[in-house]
Amino acid sequence: MENPEQILIRMKEDILLRGLSKSTLESYPSKARIFLEYCKRPAKQLNEQDIRNFLCYLINEKKVSPATVNTYSAAIRFLFAVTFNRTLNYLQIPRQKKRRTLPEVLTREEVSSIIESCNNLKHKAMLTVIYSSGLRISEAAALKIPHIDSENMRLFVEYGKGGKDRYTLLSETCLHILREYFRIYRPKHPDGWLFLGAHNASHITYRAIELAFEEAVKRTNITKHVSVHTLRHAFATHLLEDGTTLLQIKELLGHSSIHSTTVYLHLANLTSDVKSPLDNSPAYGSLAIIANG
């Protein structure tokens, strides 16, 4: 299995046999190819030092982000552990520590202004369902008409991230907009896609949704660095502010771990009714009264 093309074909088979996602099927072999081309040595001779050299090359010369380095690392680990069936000393191949930055937060008013600035009903329906149900862009693109469960006021997400199905909220306001959209556009496709792409050949593309969002933002006064995914963040943040528990939000978002959901504790405005202990101190509480007076 020395031929790089044969190696990559076998790697794709390994990914398919494990039922991993389409994005993994596209990403891992392409990154493994770059690694093999960089090493320029027979596969059976490659070891931890080759991996370390390659990752250092990505960091020092290519200046890629920690997240990208970790994606390359994951692809190479899969290549060795599964396709080569070889054991690695993972202590010699550490993952990059990523700085955890907080995403931008849109207020409810800003979300409304983006949705209302859409120049057609189809775009308005797409962005409304993303925000009101907390969808990823891929989940919105893959929505089907039978996924709208108006009887139980819930929306079915089929094969979300990690290959997981789930139910999330269906807003009454969103349902009204979706019905109006359906009445005017009458989407028809053998696979039942709700939002059709060019020439109605398949579902709408991710890029088409991104462009609709970007054009809508341009028509507002919003200067924050936002993307379609910001609507999903807004959904979770606003739910938390309204008293929804983290566990409920975790299930609605389809997170595998509650750790991913806790970021919204930092985004939500949970301090409006909370008073600092200094202001409740007998020694200093009177100063607050004087200051307010």
What residues act catalytically? 136, 161, 229, 232, 255, 264
Region of residue 269 (left: phi > 0; alpha: psi -120 to 50; beta: else): beta
Among 52, 54, 5, 50, which Cα is nearest to 29's? 5
Q: How far apart are CA 61 and CA 124, in angstroms?
A: 43
Alpha helices in 61-153 (DSSP H): 66-78, 108-116, 121-133, 137-141
**Exposure pattern of 96-111 as b/e (b: 16+ CB <10 Å)?**
beeeeeebebbeeebb
Count other Cβ atoms within 10 Å, centred on residue 23.
10
Q: How far is CA 7 from CA 1, 15, 21, 42, in A?
A: 6, 12, 20, 11
Query: Computed from CA positions of residues 145, 149, 155, 160, in that sequence, does the dihedral angle turn out positive or negative?
Result: negative
Q: How far is CA 110 from CA 3, 11, 117, 191, 260, in A?
A: 54, 45, 11, 34, 24
